[in-house]
Structure 1
Amino acid sequence: MNALGLLRPDLFIFLCLLLLLIIVISVSQITKTHKVYLAFHSIMMLWPLGQYIVSIAERTDVQRIFVKVSFVSIALIGVSWLFFVLFLTQRTAWLTKPRIAGALLPSLISIIAVVWNPNGLFFVSENEHFAERQYGPMFWLLALIQFIYLSVTLFSMYYTMRNDHSVKRRKQMMLTLFGMLVLTVFAVLDMLLNVVLQDRLPIISGLMSVGILLSDLCFVVVISRYGMFDVLSMAQKDIIDHMSMGIIVVDESNRVIEVNRGTEPFALVAKKDVFEMDKFLSAVEDQEEVREFLYRYRNTPYVRQQTEISWRDGRYVSIQISPVLDDMKSVLAKVITFQDVTEQRKHVDDMNRKNEALHERNLELILIQEELFRVNQKLEQMAITDGLTGCYNRRFLMQQLEHEVMLNHRYQTPFSIFLFDIDHFKLFNDRYGHLIGDEVICKTVDTVRGTLRKTDILARYGGEEFTIYLPHTNREQAEVLAERILRAVTEIEVDTGKEKTGITISMGTFTEESFDTPIRDVKEYLRFIFSQVDTALYEAKNQGRNCIVVAS
């Protein structure tokens, strides 16, 4: 066989997957999620490798073995999906021993069916070569089991996305979902073209392998771009291990799932041990506070609890229990902390003497905090509003518009934008002074604001120029509103001290009612809109001012 004969699609894809594996190992810190991914990746590599060896092997017994290896990898992909997603979304607490066994059982049944292949019920060769195969009912059982795994995994992802509002986590889930769908599509195509229609169409090799490669690329991006959660978990674990207080995390059956080094002075427990609070406190249960604590521990496990007890060696120990609840208020786990408070108890008297002073200081701090809160609110308001007129500033307007126009295009909702400025404003400043000029701006803004709806946004665009964003407004409605604003402004009178003078404005309007062209760059789209409305405003000035021009 020449060199070109070796360059088959399955071999090429196997080499690509091997290269991805090397890259992930080289550039990533190996966390739990990475370990699960590497196991998942290795399983996916078996399919193209097995298919390649089947295509080049001459002995039928070798072909049969590697056909089984290939389908064993397929039998493991579904459950690997599930475990990978659970680790990726930090929901490993779900993986108790009974649930792991239940999740693995269908996959093991599929593997037995592949390896046993009784009477060719899974596959048989054609023309004494296993590169071409006929499939039996056990093959379709395998396909059904993988579809069930896919459904359970999708439900898990949906649950995570519904309860997690993190944008980064949602992006992570969406890309993972895309990778799973890519693999599913290619698997269905492979079954359709190379199994269902194999008598009518030529065999198209490498379809499943291509799907595996593309989906794996998505998973690599997920764990490299969005996979910081394991790193954070490792950092949190390191911090917890170095804390002086003891921490034990138990599941709903009181089996230890996490314990730190600080627990050693209080209790000698290890992961997977059963931690019995009654037995742990049996030596001091004669204390009244211990009996009360144990009663609450047994009867109200969903309530956070805390007590201080006098330990056998004379120490005072604070024990706190914090339940971890699901949406139905059922206890999923409990975090139990132990802290030596002997020194604190020795200083109780001193603390009581200082308590009043501390209380007064706390009141002062609360007042300062409230004042800081009010100042922060004021600063936040100042950051988005114009100091003179009180309307929104240009920066806030543009931020809102970036969001609004995308929603409008998505739901095909018409909207309008007005741009107007005060006619001959420079003459007001030059003739009557800047104070009168400021009064002209403020009266104009107040008048315009009074004509708008609650959903409209008025913003100072710059100098004497103002912008109005009108959601859910078509061209006819925009013309009516623009005329109303123009008439209202012409009724304004400004007392300059010498005389009373009126105000007029020139206005350009733009209405978007056609949504055929998708928005590729929202900032560029907004520049286009304001270019159009600015041109219309310029035309209104050229037509003699105190008029409205609609952008074409």
Structure 2
Amino acid sequence: MWLDLYMFFLLFVLFAYLFVSVTVTNLHKSYFYFHFLMMLWPLFQFAIKITENPAIQLVYVKLAFVDLSLLGAGWLVFTFFLTGHTALLRNKKAFLFFIPALLTSAGVFVNYRGMFVQPFDGAYINRYYGPLFWIVIPVLLGYLLVPLFILAKTFASAQAPRTKRKIKLVLIGIVVLLASAVFDIFINVIYFSSAMIVPGLTSLGIFVSAIFFVIAIRRYKMLDIVTIAHQDVIDTIADGILVLDEHERVMEINRSFRPYLDLRLGERFVIESFLKFSCGEPQREQFLQTYREEPLRTARIDIIAEEADRRYISLQTAPIILNKVRVGRIVTLQDITEVRRLVNDLERLAVTDSLTGCYNRHYLTQHLESDIMLHVRGHRPFAILLLDIDFFKRINDQFGHLAGDEVIVWTVDTIRRTIRQTDSIARFGGEEFMIYLPDTAPTEAAILAERIKASIETGQAAVENGAYRLSITVSIGLLSVDTFEGGLQSNPNGYITQLFTLVDEALYQAKKNGRNQVVGSAAFAKRSIS
């Protein structure tokens, strides 16, 4: 009976040695929980034999097998920590892993009508096991076999020799534990004979397996703080990180990567699965060509991960070089949605007028320089309108500048409702606006200009929160270009400047003639542009 006590003390020594010789991390804590449960089995086995009270013996028997159930569940949890599958424990259904252990523990402790265990010769030092025992044992063996399978799979996919040695030691330890438990069942349960009891088999197996676990922890730093910190740091990084070997198998993946593509260690990464997101066919093909044919180059592409809320992701791949040889690849994902939105906002602010929301003069000048030259080369007609609010100074003097701003905004809104979607409007000056009409013949441009003038003239601008309604008019200079002479393309800047000068002359003429009118014709373009 002393063998179980010896095993308990030896397990306690290993526990104390490990506790004082390592820096305790969360992973170490999970092992200590597991090791503590291993210590309880031999302690309860010893306790059964030192009392002659059958009732107390039965309590220790129950506690021993409850401990064994918890030991199985603890081993499964510890395996999840070892193999990087802790995400399974954060799942809402993680409690399902513990249900078999809890049910078997409840069945053991209740021992309804002796269905789990019955005394032999009135005591429980030697005992008979009932039908519930043969339900409990497969559950316990399952708790050992599942981790064995997970560890074997991890061992097969591991590349580093040091990692393989660590996993190998743990595998040997669990095999020893499993073999001792099975051997104990065969000798002391299936072929039970009171004259041939072999004590301490499971206790001995637990101790030997614990030795392998401690060696793996101490010699190979299985639970090393640097390794844990490394993974913790990677998991706290907001960018997704994926490390691949030379065969595109996953060697490491952090928490931020999984929402986009849930992969397991050892699985193969398929880059095309990522590029199913919208990113443009030319960019996609160029990226894939670099990725496949030039693996030593860094490749980058921006993709839209979610069409609904327009999440922009920057995907970058870079080679991992060791001794001038590519041994793998690192893939990073960066959420650039806010950056893209900020850039878009800045671009919009740079090209729009803050008061009216229409384009500003700078943008219109750049836009016309490129677009008008395309029309010139293609001999496609276009027109430019320069519009000015009549007697605008009177409005500012009589009602104030805020009312003047309201009149300007109302004027722009009225123009927008009148022009076509292909037309562009920009604030050219204080109360001056330029309207660009692409692919527009002179007659059509004149009709549209008169329509804009009439829309403003027949409407009323509400100012000072609707306290006053003002009727205003505008003067419009019209420049239509449908005749193109040689030399127009040699100086785009000069050509645009001439267009602005001519349309300004037309506007001046409209004001000089009495305002509230449209002045201009194609003759302006033919007269001065060459």
TM-score bucket of the superposed structures, by smaller chain? 0.3 to 0.5
Q: Greater CA radius of gyration, 1 or 2?
A: 2
Q: With the length of structure 1 as denominator, give the TM-score of the two structures.
A: 0.44
Q: With the length of structure 2 as denominator, give the TM-score of the two structures.
A: 0.46
